[in-house]
Chains A and B, each alone.
Chain A
């Protein structure tokens, strides 16, 4: 399909717009009168509609269109925002999201949205009936939107025009017609804008800047310019740009002077009348109406970024690592040759490639915002469902994490936030009785520290009751009564994340927390991170997650088994030991050792991996003690080589999952070493 190459871009951008819709709607709910926000929402919906229609996703386009109508009504003050309307719009956004997901999965985005469309239409119509400004205006509005030529100036724009006149600047309405053969219209427009910006300031354009950029115009566009320069200068500077067919410069007066306005509008005399009517009819439209200047402002903040497929970054990284290996060889050669010039060059190369490496690594980093930005919406819904008042505060959303970690961390966080809302923060009346504010605070905070990223979720809710946790743990057989006496608070709280602590149906009896938290803990540990809990009964709790900056680089212990090298992740190693063979005991036909008072089963890597025998057995065995949760095991190897930071690589699709191996890495000599998956070795 011809469209397929654009499909990916479409999906990505749609997701962005849907996210922006979600964000802005939440904002709007808090400040229903903020027209800038409405404008923002409208723009996102509008762009989405345009894209969907271009790509041929009719249902998506239709729904956005209906949504846009409602928003337009709001924007033009024909409709007052309330919580119900926002709910319906949220539903619509959810449907949009579902459609986009469907499209991403290869569907056609078709969905039954009749009911929603009806609701949206009702909202739209309801207002029209109750409002004084009836259909007449709405008609005018439509035509107005289509042909608006700077009559719909807002307060801000009018102010600028007035001021400029006071200062002796002139205002011009410039109509520019592009050559029919012009290929890159948007680029020409850009050039026009740029040269205009040099001599003055563009206040407004028709069509809007957005539409111009998207090439959603024919050949002609008009801009409103405030400048010190005279007509000729303007004309000269614009005609310098190629592919401009003609230019028409008119003086522009901001007063609602019929003559002036009609002069500008003389190309469309039939609409003109309507527009005049519009002005007279609803002056407030001009005053509080569209915030087009905001449009321009928000344009300029957008970052200069490009989208790069992560596979390409991986490819870059791979090639770069090869370069590093060769660099190592080169360093060795130059050290041997002792040629000053060569050594200098190699040193320079080493420095440059070091910089290069950090840049490449940084490119894989994404702000944690990508995960965080779905939470405001979730918290809103949940707190509504639960009948609680919650104020979510997000700190440090710009903190960067490796892309791979970002992809994995979402679900555990959702779980923890739900948990905090469900069991942490109390109902408003309970809070009041306890002398707290009715609205609970939920703080989501991310920050860097050393080689780690911390994500903290804290609430000022009920906290954890130590005794209840201990009772529960004892009755479920997680710990014994004796053990419980010696546990610190933190150890007790950690119990709620141990498997088998609590089951879903019983959870509400206990202090509250517990369901599925073991899953959260496991996920985080599989990412090489850890989680800890602090809590004060009645004051609230803090869940702190520590994550490695990146998953693609891990610390390992390199070991030798016969002639083969393997890497064991440091995160799963407790310690290493060299033991005498006669310390190995047999228990039920299994080899075990007594390790610090604990019986630890031994696993011979040589046997597990069927390594060809080459060496004679020695009297001593090197053992790596590994752990999985609370279980320990000792891996027998031949030799410890040392600790190293390695880049994690997959074995590829062809081999798929290999027992006991989680991946591979490339060593300094260019050879591949396999990384041992310690979790599968302990069962």
Chain B
């Protein structure tokens, strides 16, 4: 039997679109809580929270992706990502699903998503009738990438 490589991913929602983060990187999903603002940092850095004794930075993915910033709702979640050197949290509209994404159906990111050209989307997978975007976390965390995106938004 041919081996099918799948990528287990957590599906998150941002502005009605679905994105995937590999489960192996996710350290936990927390409810929205008080975030201590850290001054003089990028605007998408919302601040820090106390995550079981560790001070953990929190990013607002809506802000990061140049979407409209909304007030947190009941379904707003903080996804904790375990990276090699540090943990970090993403604020997302909702997190509700774990999917096995067959790697063979992942296509490279189309040049144009919506109207903005972005580098933080690694690929797109079509699962049944859902379109799921796979995030490149390095790029998501990169301040440079954010600056580039902001510039493009301004041009428009």
Minimum CB–CB distance from A612 to chain B (whole Å) comes to 8
Task: Tell me the complex Cα distance, A179–B5, Å.
Answer: 48
Main secondary structure of the interface of A (DSSP, over half): mixed
Known interface pairs A654-B141, A655-B57, A674-B36; A666-B50 also in contact (CB < 8 Å): yes
Task: Tell me the complex Cα distance, A649–B55, Å.
Answer: 7
Q: Which of A318, A608, A655 contacts B52 (CB 8 A)?
A: A318
Instruction: Kindly state whether residue A659 has any CB partner on chain B within 8 Å.
Output: yes
Q: How large is the interface on B (under 10, 10 to 19, 20 to 34, 35 or more residues)?
A: 20 to 34
Q: In the complex, which residues of chain B have a beta carbon less than 8 angstroms from the beta carbon of A564?
A: 36-37
Task: Tell me the complex Cα distance, A322–B56, Å.
Answer: 14
Q: In the complex, which residues of chain B have a beta carbon less than 8 angstroms from the beta carbon of A328?
A: none
> In the complex, which residues 89-131 of chain B have their Cβ closer than 8 Å to any Cβ of chain A?
none
Q: In the complex, which residues of chain B have a beta carbon less than 8 angstroms from the beta carbon of A321?
A: 53
Contact A673 B36 (CB under 8 A): yes
Task: Tell me the complex Cα distance, A659–B57, Å.
Answer: 16
Instruction: Kindly state whether residue B49 has any CB partner on chain A within 8 Å.
Output: yes
Contact B54 A659 (CB under 8 A): no
> In the complex, which residues 29-57 of chain B have their Cβ closer than 8 Å to any Cβ of chain A?
34, 36-41, 45, 47-50, 52-57
Task: Tell me the complex Cα distance, A319–B51, Å.
Answer: 10
> In the complex, which residues 637-683 of chain A have their Cβ closer than 8 Å to any Cβ of chain B?
649-655, 658-661, 664, 666, 670-674
Q: In the complex, which residues of chain A have a beta carbon less than 8 angstroms from the beta carbon of B41?
A: 655, 658
Which among A319, A608, A658, A659 has the greatest number of chain B C-beta atoms within 10 A? A658
Question: In chain A, what residue has the closest Cβ to B53?
Answer: A318
Q: In the complex, which residues of chain A have a beta carbon less than 8 angstroms from the beta carbon of B38?
A: 651, 655, 658, 661, 674
Instruction: Kindly state whether residue A217 has any CB partner on chain B within 8 Å.
Output: no
Instruction: Kindly state whether residue B88 has any CB partner on chain A within 8 Å.
Output: yes
Q: Which of B34, B57, B85 contacts A671 (CB 8 A)?
A: B34
Q: In the complex, which residues of chain B have a beta carbon less than 8 angstroms from the beta carbon of A653?
A: 85-86
Instruction: Kindly state whether residue A609 has any CB partner on chain B within 8 Å.
Output: yes
Q: Which of B34, B39, B50, B56 contacts A652 (CB 8 A)?
A: B56
Known interface pairs A608-B39, A664-B36, A672-B36; A652-B53 also in contact (CB < 8 Å): no
Q: Which of B40, B48, B87 contacts A664 (CB 8 A)?
A: B48
Contact B52 A651 (CB under 8 A): no
Task: Tell me the complex Cα distance, A664–B45, Å.
Answer: 16
Contact B57 A666 (CB under 8 A): no
Minimum CB–CB distance from B132 to chain A (whole Å) comes to 26
> In the complex, which residues 308-342 of chain A have their Cβ closer than 8 Å to any Cβ of chain B?
317-322
Chain A contact residue count (CB 8 A cutoff): 29
Contact A671 B36 (CB under 8 A): yes
Question: In chain B, what residue has the closest Cβ to A609?
Answer: B39
Contact B50 A671 (CB under 8 A): yes
Contact B39 A661 (CB under 8 A): yes
Minimum CB–CB distance from B146 to chain A (whole Å) comes to 13
Instruction: Kindly state whether residue A611 has any CB partner on chain B within 8 Å.
Output: yes
Task: Tell me the complex Cα distance, A671–B41, Å.
Answer: 19
Task: Tell me the complex Cα distance, A660–B37, Å.
Answer: 13
Q: In the complex, which residues of chain A have a beta carbon less than 8 angstroms from the beta carbon of B40?
A: 609-610, 658-661
Q: In the complex, which residues of chain B have a beta carbon less than 8 angstroms from the beta carbon of A659?
A: 39-40
Contact B52 A652 (CB under 8 A): no
Minimum CB–CB distance from B123 to chain A (whole Å) comes to 25
Minimum CB–CB distance from A77 to chain B (whole Å) comes to 56
Minimum CB–CB distance from A429 to chain B (whole Å) comes to 58
Contact A672 B53 (CB under 8 A): no
Task: Tell me the complex Cα distance, A620–B63, Å.
Answer: 37
Minimum CB–CB distance from A320 to chain B (whole Å) comes to 8
Q: In the complex, which residues of chain B have a beta carbon less than 8 angstroms from the beta carbon of A608?
A: 39
Which among A564, A655, A660, A674 has the greatest number of chain B C-beta atoms within 10 A? A655
> In the complex, which residues 579-637 of chain A have their Cβ closer than 8 Å to any Cβ of chain B?
608-611
Q: In the complex, which residues of chain B have a beta carbon less than 8 angstroms from the beta carbon of A655?
A: 38, 41, 45, 48, 57
Contact A672 B48 (CB under 8 A): yes
Interface flags for B115-156 (1: CB within 8 Å of A; 0: not) read: 000000000000000000000000001000000000000000
Q: In the complex, which residues of chain A have a beta carbon less than 8 angstroms from the beta carbon of B85?
A: 653-654
Q: In the complex, which residues of chain B have a beta carbon less than 8 angstroms from the beta carbon of A652?
A: 48, 54-57, 86-88
Interface flags for A155-179 (1: CB within 8 Å of B; 0: not) read: 0000000000000000000000000
Task: Tell me the complex Cα distance, A651–B57, Å.
Answer: 8
Task: Tell me the complex Cα distance, A609–B47, Å.
Answer: 13
Q: In the complex, which residues of chain A have a beta carbon less than 8 angstroms from the beta carbon of B50?
A: 666, 670-672
Q: In the complex, which residues of chain A have a beta carbon less than 8 angstroms from the beta carbon of B88?
A: 652, 654
Task: Tell me the complex Cα distance, A533–B132, Å.
Answer: 69
Task: Tell me the complex Cα distance, A611–B40, Å.
Answer: 10
Which among A319, A320, A651, A654 has the greatest number of chain B C-beta atoms within 10 A? A654
Q: In the complex, which residues of chain A have a beta carbon less than 8 angstroms from the beta carbon of B57?
A: 651-652, 654-655
Task: Tell me the complex Cα distance, A564–B37, Å.
Answer: 8
Question: In chain A, what residue has the closest Cβ to B87?
Answer: A652
Known interface pairs A650-B55, A652-B55, A653-B86; A610-B39 also in contact (CB < 8 Å): yes
Q: Which of B53, B55, B86, B141 contacts A322 (CB 8 A)?
A: B53
Q: In the complex, which residues of chain A have a beta carbon less than 8 angstroms from the beta carbon of B37?
A: 564
Minimum CB–CB distance from B41 to chain A (whole Å) comes to 6
Question: In chain A, what residue has the closest Cβ to B85?
Answer: A653
Minimum CB–CB distance from A470 to chain B (whole Å) comes to 44
Task: Tell me the complex Cα distance, A317–B56, Å.
Answer: 16
Contact B86 A317 (CB under 8 A): no
Contact B36 A318 (CB under 8 A): no
Contact A672 B39 (CB under 8 A): no
Task: Tell me the complex Cα distance, A255–B118, Å.
Answer: 89
Minimum CB–CB distance from A194 to chain B (whole Å) comes to 43
Contact B52 A319 (CB under 8 A): yes
Q: In the complex, which residues of chain B have a beta carbon less than 8 angstroms from the beta carbon of A649?
A: 54-55
Interface flags for B74-93 (1: CB within 8 Å of A; 0: not) read: 00000000000111100000
Task: Tell me the complex Cα distance, A672–B35, Å.
Answer: 8
Question: In chain A, what residue has the closest Cβ to B35?
Answer: A672
Q: List 28 A-B contacts (CB under 8 A).
A: A318-B52, A318-B54, A319-B52, A320-B53, A321-B53, A322-B52, A322-B53, A564-B36, A564-B37, A608-B39, A649-B54, A650-B55, A651-B55, A652-B48, A652-B54, A652-B86, A652-B88, A653-B86, A655-B38, A655-B41, A658-B40, A659-B39, A660-B39, A664-B36, A666-B55, A672-B49, A672-B50, A673-B36
* Interface residues in chain B, defined as those with a beta carbon under 8 Å from any beta carbon in chain A: 34, 36-41, 45, 47-50, 52-57, 85-88, 141
* Interface residues in chain A, defined as those with a beta carbon under 8 Å from any beta carbon in chain B: 317-322, 564, 608-611, 649-655, 658-661, 664, 666, 670-674
Closest 3 pairs (CB-CB, A-B): A318-B53, A609-B39, A672-B36
A666-B55, A673-B36 given; name 15 further pairs at CB < 8 Å.
A318-B52, A318-B53, A319-B53, A651-B38, A652-B48, A652-B55, A654-B86, A655-B57, A658-B40, A658-B41, A661-B38, A661-B40, A670-B50, A672-B49, A674-B38
